[in-house]
Structure formats: structure tokens, C-alpha cells
Copies of this chain bind each other. A is one copy, B any other.
Amino acid sequence: MSNESQQPRVRILDTAYRLFLGQGYNSTGINQIIEEAEVAKASFYQHFKSKEDLCVGVLEKRHQYIEEQSQALSAQKRTPKMKVLASFDLISLLNEQEDFRGCAFLNILSEIPADNTKVREVIYAHKSNIRQHFKDLLQHAELADHIYLLYEGAFVESQLYRDQWPVNRAKKIANSLIS
């Protein structure tokens, strides 16, 4: 499927998604995006009113992807416990597929100014969603947050160590925690 067979907006979003995740938000310039997406600069600003706006779009796309993968992995499992543990498999999968780039949401959280409300809200929504997901499955708020913190810690640490050990460890712990 060639680049030109897609709508400009889609091409921009796909390209930015790939670049923001692969090399970071600040390290990715508008020029690189429009060049690789093969769109004109003004076309870009027709579809996204700013780089920040694009960032929101990318994070929403990422959210959707994470959701899909999560549900795909979860669907094969029968018990809530196994569904929870599947979340850690998702991190493993992303680490492998994307060479330990870590959590796109947390990375961008570190890159944007603290007062960037719009982007922060998308990140907040995504993470709250995951947190709630654990709560829904486990029906035990404290345990859910325990798992959630392990999940987040494992994600961020596997990026730092460029190794799956934090995920493996966290999953093992989670397994022992959930009755």
C-alpha cells in the first residue's frame, strides 16, 4: 500500500505516529513529517492547526492501538486474573516490536511544558482508563492500584534497562497478588 493511496490527513498522522514514537516529540520537526508524509506544508496546517494539535491526534491514535491490542490479548483469556496478567504481555510485545521505547504517553508527558493542558488531558485520560480497567476487572480498588503501579513501573523501567526483566518481574508479582 503506497503512501499516496491514503488521504493526506491519514498519511500525516501515520508518519507523525511513527516518528514521535520512534525518535521523540521534540526531535521530530514538522518538516520531517511533511516530507515523509509527502504532503505540502500548508496542507499540514489545514488538517492540524499546530504541532500540539497533531500530538493530540497521535496520542489518540496510540490510545486506540493500545486498546485494540489489549482487547485482542485479553479476549483469549477467560478469568479476570488472566486478563489482568495479559496487560503485562502487552508491554512485552510493545518492547519487542518497538525496541524498548517505553510508554509514548509518559515520554511525551516529559517532553511537553507542564502547562500544556490539552495534551496532558489526553495522557491523563489514557492512563485513567487503564487504571479503571484494572479496577473493573479486579473489583478491588487497592489491589487494582497496586497492579497499576507495577504496570507503570514495569513499562518505564524496561525502557531504561532495555530489558524485559521489569515486565517479567511485575507480571510474576501480579500473578501472586491476585487470588
A84 at the interface (CB under 8 A from B): no
- SS class of chain A's interface: helix, strand, loop or mixed? helix
- Chain B residues, Cβ within 8 Å of A173: 142, 146, 149
Contact, CB under 8 Å: A154 / B159: no
A interface residues (Cβ-Cβ under 8 A, vs B): 23-24, 26-27, 99, 101-102, 106-111, 113-114, 123-124, 127, 142, 145-146, 148-154, 156-157, 159-161, 166, 169-170, 173
Contact between B111 and A159 (Cβ–Cβ < 8 Å)? no
Given contacts A149-B170, A153-B156, contact A110 B106 (CB under 8 A): yes
Return the 9 tightest CB-CB contacts between A and B, nearest first. A153-B153, A149-B153, A110-B110, A107-B110, A152-B153, A26-B26, A145-B169, A149-B150, A146-B173
Residues of B contacting A27 in the complex (Cβ-Cβ under 8 angstroms): 113
- Specify which chain B residues have a CB less than 8 angstroms from the CB of A148 in the assembled complex: 153, 157
Chain B residue with the shortest CB-CB distance to A149: B153
A126 to chain B, nearest CB (A): 10
The residues of B that contact A170 with a CB separation of less than 8 Å are 149
